[in-house]
Amino acid sequence: MEKCDVAIVGAGPYGLSAAAHLRRLKGLDIRLLGEPMSFWERHMPKEMLLRSPWVASHIADPSEQLTLDTYRRVNGNRQLAYPVPVKDFINYGHWFHRQLAVPTDPRKVTRIDLASGGYRLSLEGGEELEAGRVVVAGGIQPFAHRPKIFADLPTSLVTHTSEQVDYANLREKETLVIGAGQSALEAAAFLHKAGAYVEVLVRNSTVHWLGHRAWMHKKPISWFFYGRADVGPAGVSLAVQRPNLFRRLPRRIQEWWGIRAIRPAVSHRLAPYAGYLPTHTGRFPVQADVDGDRLRVRLNDGTERCVDHVVLGTGYRVNIALYPFLSSEVLQRVERINGFPRLDAGFESSLPGLHFLGAPAAWSFGPLMRFVAGTEFASPTLARGILRKARGRRFYAVCSLVQSRGNLREGPSNPLA
């Protein structure tokens, strides 16, 4: 069976960035597992533009040589626009991966079990790999939230936004979009462009538009209100940008600010669509039944809609138990809070040698971990944590050696015995 020191599961922005940092640790044998950028390729709308600012869309590498700016310069791609189109970001991710030259296996990890020296990973096709440590950077796709009333309905009638890269299949169809955030309103706009008849249901009493305080985002003063990643409202954003500060805040404040930072909100870029997309606030579905080849949906106000398709812009709810590759033995030994693993300062869970990056790290390090910008903090912190543990082990090994030699020399009177 093949062996390595660290296996990284997932080659999205967090996995790629972790690989870039860990490959710098001398003598560390790492493997990157999974197809690079596959979530962005298969689960995001083809025409999407990135929501994050340019400065917060670099995948972090230790020498800061693999930024979007370098990518643009090296590739002579002066056309790389801002906001960054998703297809360009995907190409950037692949370019980043090629520069790393890290041993990569594009197969999926089907299972992670405990083994004597650490972990045993089963790969698609049946091969196995043994690793001293595992870094889970598996992203959010398994956490796509499907409200109960839609849980058992077929995807021909109901899809989550993560299941649609374009909406050409819904041309001239009557569709209902559910949700109040960017994904929902963006899906509604794409549906409209694709020629579908769209109605949007928003549970909240209003749609929260971003960018209405444009003056606070102006360059000379924005640093006073917002962190570089621009995650969260004025002030809160500054704390979110500093995960080591955020994690030291009282839990009550972390929770309150965490919710504020990621509450459903919509970019002002979609505002032009708002005028002609029928959007109803304070409405949500309470029942859904198949009616021939359509869906009958009853709303909280007692009215009904009979539609061809429902698109759920209902977001993602982190719960690592939904990662299909974590064996129950592994899962049971990971301390969890509301589905998130509790992580130490080096992103290590309560199960030694098992680390989590990306959205699952948000309970421990705050909402920045849900965005590409979080790689700048997470990857070097992970690398330092692993290095510290390795040094600690070496120190411990030396101590044990000294102790055993002392035992041999001094017999039972050795105070270390």
Ligand X SMILES: Cc1cc2nc3c(=O)[nH]c(=O)nc-3n(C[C@H](O)[C@H](O)[C@H](O)COP(=O)(O)OP(=O)(O)OC[C@H]3O[C@@H](n4cnc5c(N)ncnc54)[C@H](O)[C@@H]3O)c2cc1C
Q: Which residues bind ligand X (CB under 6 A)?
A: 9-15, 33-34, 38-40, 44, 50-52, 108-109, 137-141, 183, 325, 358, 371-373
Specify the residue, 211 or 406, whose C-beta has the smaller distance to ligand X: 211
- Choice between 12 and 132, CB closer to ligand X: 12
CB of 163 to ligand X, least distance (A): 11
Q: Which residues contact 251 (CB under 8 A, 6 or more apart)?
A: none
Q: How far is the CB of 293 from ligand X (least distance, A)?
A: 28
Whether residue 310 contacts residue 150, with contact meaning beta carbons closer than 8 Å, is answered with: yes
d(CA 257, CA 387): 32
Q: Between 46 and 247, name the residue whose CB sits nearer to ligand X.
A: 46
Q: Which is nearer to ligand X, 125 or 250 (CB)?
A: 125
Cβ closest to ligand X, residue 158 vs residue 186: 186
Q: Which is nearer to ligand X, 19 or 158 (CB)?
A: 19
Task: For residue 16, give the nearest of 382, 413, 312 by alpha carbon.
Answer: 382
Q: Please, what's the b/e burial string for 321-336 (b: 16 or more CB within 10 A of its CB; e: otherwise)?
A: eebebbeeebeeebeb
| 3-state SS class at 413 | helix
- What distance in Å separates the CA atoms of residue 74 and residue 63, rounded to the nearest whole number? 16
> Rg of the Cα trace of the chain?
24
CB of residue 303 vs ligand X: minimum separation in angstroms?
Answer: 29
**In the complex, what is the shortest distance from the CB of residue 141 to ligand X, in angstroms, rounded to a whole number?**
6
Q: In the complex, which residue's CB is closest to ligand X?
A: 12
Surface-to-core class of residue 417, CB atoms within 10 Å of its CB (0-12 exposed, 13-18 middle, 19+ buried)? exposed
∠ CA 381-225-206 to the nearest 5 degrees? 105
8 Å CB contact between 119 and 354: yes
Least separation, in Å, of the C-beta of 201 and ligand X? 19
Q: How far is CA 143 from CA 111, 136, 319, in A?
A: 18, 15, 7
With contact defined as beta carbons under 8 Å apart, do 61 and 17 qualify? yes
- We find the least distance from the C-beta atom of residue 219 to ligand X, in angstroms, to be 20
CB of 376 to ligand X, least distance (A): 11
Contact indicator for 192, 273 with CB cutoff of 8 Å: yes
Q: Which is nearer to ligand X, 127 or 289 (CB)?
A: 127
